[in-house]
Every structure is written in C-alpha cells, then in structure tokens.
Structure 1
Amino acid sequence: MKKQVIMGMCILMLGICGCAKSEEEQTAVRKNTAKEAVTEPLIETVDYGEIFGGTEGCAVIYETSNNTYSFYEEEMCRRQASPWSTFKIAATLMGLHNQVVTSEDSRMGYDGTAYPLEAWNQDLNLKEAFQQSCVWYFRKVIDGVGEEEARAQLQALDYGNCDSSQWSGSGVNPLPELNGFWLGSSLKISPLQQVEMLRNIVEGRTIYSDKEVETLKNCMLTESDSTQKIYGKTGTGQHEGWFVGFVEKENTVTYIAVYLDDTDSETVNGAGARQIAMEILR
C-alpha cells in the first residue's frame, strides 16, 4: 500500500463549530487539556479502495502510538453528515451526566408498542438499548435531558454543527418516538469530528466524569480478548452507514471512524461500515 506522509500541524478544526461553552465547562476542559503536552501529529493519506470494494465512503484513523492521522478520502472525512445512531455515544453521556440514567442497568419503561425490530419490544436496560440501537429508549433519555441542557452539552462536546433545532426530528420514521434531531435531521458531524470527539471523551478532556466515561465504554465494548478490546457504535441511515470506535491494545489506543454514503447501493448500513473498520484495523 502506497502512503504519502506529510509532517505538520493537522488542521483538525476545519468545519468544527465554534460553539460557546459555559465558564464551568471551559474550566473543566482547560483542566484536563493541561495534562497533555501539545505535539504536532503526522498526517498521512492511505488507500483503502480494495477494502471498500467500490462502495463510496471514507475512513479516518488516529494512532496514539505514533501520533498519526490517516485519511482515506480526506475531503469526505471532513464533510458533515447525520450521525444517525452513533449519536447514542453522546446521548449516553448526557443521560448519565443528568441522572436520567444512572448505570448500564437503568431502564426507561417499555410501553408495549410493537416496534419493527423485535429486540426493541421489551424493557431494555442502558447497555442492551445501546447495543440493540433502540431508538425509543434514547428518545426518552434525550427528552429527559431536555432541549436546553442537550444543546449545552452538544456545544461542550463541539459536536459537529451542534444543531438540535429539529428536536422532534424530520419524520424519517413513522412513529414520533423513533425520530430525533440526530436521525437524518438538523444535527450533523464529520468523520474527523467523530474521532476528535471520541478522543476527547476517552482521554478525559470533557465535562464527563471517569465513572460516566467508564459506563459508556462498558456499553460500547463489542470484542475483548487477552490482547485487545474493541469499542464501537454503528449507525444506519438512508444509503448511509457509520462505525465509530476505538481499540485498546498493548497500552495504545487506535481511534477510527468509517462513513459510507452510496446512493447506488441498497446494502450500505452500519454493519457494513463496521466490517470495513475491522478490516482496516486488522
């Protein structure tokens, strides 16, 4: 595989919103950021065309071991799109931070509605709802957090365009509890911003406590063995697929976001994005 490596400052803030933070949030971020020395990352362009197999999409990877960002289709990596169910990463933290949920065992009360996915037709706990990507559960979490507080925490996370203005969503699904501003609606984020946000969360540069982050990680854990742990969240939209996650291995962490956007394909989804991400990581 041919790689072109360019030394220099990574222009990571391109397209990231300049949302204002409260004084308390700024203090928390400054406190955590001060723990780390500022270094100049490497940027490299990589060719994952064979892995993507003709599907339109992109990938961005950050390696802590060598302080390197790798881009496949860099322009697309910097373009914002609906996060779909990858937003549950942020929603989980918001719910925990505001005590709408208190642990991975917290339940939101299934009301008996027959949903299109059988796994959603029961009283799930937080971890189950996260891993089953249950929309009605997280709709209740976000409504419990409230519009004003959710907006403030989007800003604290620098979550893409920070736009929750279409609070109830755009009607992409027939039931109101299966819609939200993160589902083909007003909120948008780029793959690069997904990686940066996840890095900030895991590395302690956000308003969230260690306990809140650890609970999120327990929900995100998808594979674990004696050599590594893989964490992630998929998202599926209309001809779109996401996988956002990270791998802990031998005291190093690799962050990754894969985004697919292919109107010519009927099979693009989060599972496909995850499969591509696993191939890249291997």
Structure 2
Amino acid sequence: MRYFAGLVFLVLVLAACSSNSVKEEKDLEKFITAEKMTGVFGLFDNAQGSFILSDRKRFRDSAYLPASTFKVVNALIGLETGKVKDDSTVIPWDGITRRVPEWNQDLSMYRAFRVSSVPWFQELARRIGKDTMQRWLDTLGYGRKKGRAVIHQIDSFWLDNSIKMTPDEQLGLMKKLYFDQLPFQRRTGEIVSRMMLMEDNSNYRLSYKTGWGIAENGDSIGWIIGWVEENKHPYFFVLQLRSSDAQVDMPAARLKVLKGILKELGFMEGKK
C-alpha cells in the first residue's frame, strides 16, 4: 500500500506541474547566477499542494547523475536488507588515504552519511550486491523518467553518469520518504530521516542530503534535496546546479544558494 501511495504521489506531482498550482519565480535564479552557475530550484508546499519553481522546464526535464544524493537510497536498501543493522554500524577504513580527511578512518553509518563518505557507501553497495540493488531500483522506479536505471558497475553507477535523476523525481522521493510512502519498514525510513537532519532550532528544522559529481562534458553538478519544517509543517525542496567554472566551490556555493532562496521565500525565521 505504501508503494502504491508513492506511485499515486508521483502521478500527482507530474499532473500538478501542468496546473495552476505551479508558480514560476524566475527571480530566484539570481541566487544561482550570482555563484556563476545555472540550475533550478523547486519547492513543494504539502499543505497547499502547490509548487514554487525557478524554471518549470528545467524542473521536469533536466537530468544528471545523482552523485551522493544516492546515499539516501543506498542507506535505505542497506538497512532494509540487513547489510547494516542501524546507523551505528561501523565499516572499517580500508587503509587507503583519500582527499577528504574525515573519510580516512573507521566510520559509523551515521558519521559516513554526514561526511558523505564515498568509499563507505561504495562498500555498502558491494555488500548489497548488483542483483539486489537492481531489484530495489526497479521497485522504487528510481531514475525511470529518463529510462530504466540499469546498474553496470555496482560501486559507481550513481557517480559515472550511467543513471540520471530529474529534480521532480528527487523532490518526489523526499516527500515519500518523509511520509513513509516508500516500500520500506517505518524504522528504515526513520533512521535515514534522522541522519538527514542537519539543523534543528526553535525556528526551523532543516534536513537534506547533498551531492556533487561531474557530467560527461566535465561540468560540475551539484544537488541538495530534502525538506524544511516550520511549526511542524514540511516543505520539500530540490536544488540542482551546474557549472563549467573550475573555480566554483560547489560544496559552499550550493548551501549558500539554498539558504539564500529559502530566506527569500520567508523561511528559517519560524514565521511560516
């Protein structure tokens, strides 16, 4: 039933994008262009059933590698299949020194998720296995809008441009996760949602997962997907960015753009 509800929501999302419930606010693009990037921002107000989009066409049609946003799905499948017991499960460091110092140590799932450790989640994907992972991607319909997501390399398919996600697919995934509409046990979703909570104060709760990868032509691709809660009311968002400028600091820029847009829309002050 939860999977059916998720499919129903996806249909509603696609239908809503062609209705009067969508407000296109091109002015929001100023936050993206200020960082020398192109991209799109989308927000879904669950209570009103309405969208705010910086670019309607980009929201529906632009598709890029999911990069580390796939850690959300990887974690869900790992927990559901028992390859990890909970977010305290540790995968030992393999001894290979990598460019991110935080990755070069034994990490729990919670910590690996928070520092977005690529090797940790590559090992989790290998433990899940190609056949099991493919079955789950098919069940979730992950990346289906641009054709069935087919796994070629189990520990890099979300990084090598072999599968792609659109912003509307990413936003739909976040809403289904929040409302327990995915085909996983409630406990599984709760653990992943807890790992996504990055800021929690008296005004708002901000939950998200970032992603950063390289497109086929060498452009830098950035994502932030998640939700912001004010007065116990969730708003779901997706930010997709692209830059050909090698000097752009994507990790810093994507969060700056997200918070700039959210503040422009009146969030993060506890007044929603």
Q: TM-score, normalised by structure 2?
A: 0.83
1:185-264 mapped onto 2 (5 Å cutoff):
185-238=161-214, 239-264=220-245
The CA deviation at 1:150 is 0.9
Q: Is it true that 1:166 corresponds to 2:166 in the alignment?
A: no
Which stretches in structure 2 are left out of the alignment for 5+ residues? 215-219, 264-272
CA distance in 2 between counterparts of 1:260 and 1:203 reads 26
Q: Select the residue among 48, 57, 66 that pairs with 2:39.
A: 57
Q: TM-score, normalised by structure 1?
A: 0.80
Q: 1:120 to 1:45 in 2, by over 3 A?
A: same
1:1-282 mapped onto 2 (5 Å cutoff):
27-30=1-4, 41=16, 42-47=21-26, 48-52=28-32, 53=34, 54-78=36-60, 79-161=62-144, 162-168=148-154, 180-238=156-214, 239-264=220-245, 266-267=247-248, 269-282=250-263
Aligned partners of 1:237 and 1:269 also within 8 Å: no
Q: Deviations over 1:137-185 (max 9, x none)?
A: 10111111111111121122221134243225xxxxxxxxxx5000033
Q: Deviations over 1:240-263 (max 9, x none)?
A: 111111112212111111111121
CA distance in 2 between counterparts of 1:63 and 1:89 reads 22
Following TM superposition, the consecutive aligned residue runs of length 4 or more in structure 1 with deviations greater than 6 angstroms are 31-35
Q: Deviations over 1:33-80 (max 9, x none)?
A: 799xx7985111012122222521111111113211111122222221
Identity of aligned residues (%): 22
- CA-based RMSD: 2.2
CA distance in 2 between counterparts of 1:184 and 1:253 reads 32
Q: 1:70 to 1:268 in 2, by over 3 A?
A: farther
Partner of 2:270: none
CA distance in 2 between counterparts of 1:45 and 1:129 reads 36
CA distance in 1 between counterparts of 2:57 and 2:247 reads 24
For 2:52, give the aligned amino acid.
Answer: S
Aligned partners of 2:39 and 2:241 also within 8 Å: yes
Which stretches in structure 1 are left out of the alignment for 5+ residues? 1-26, 169-178
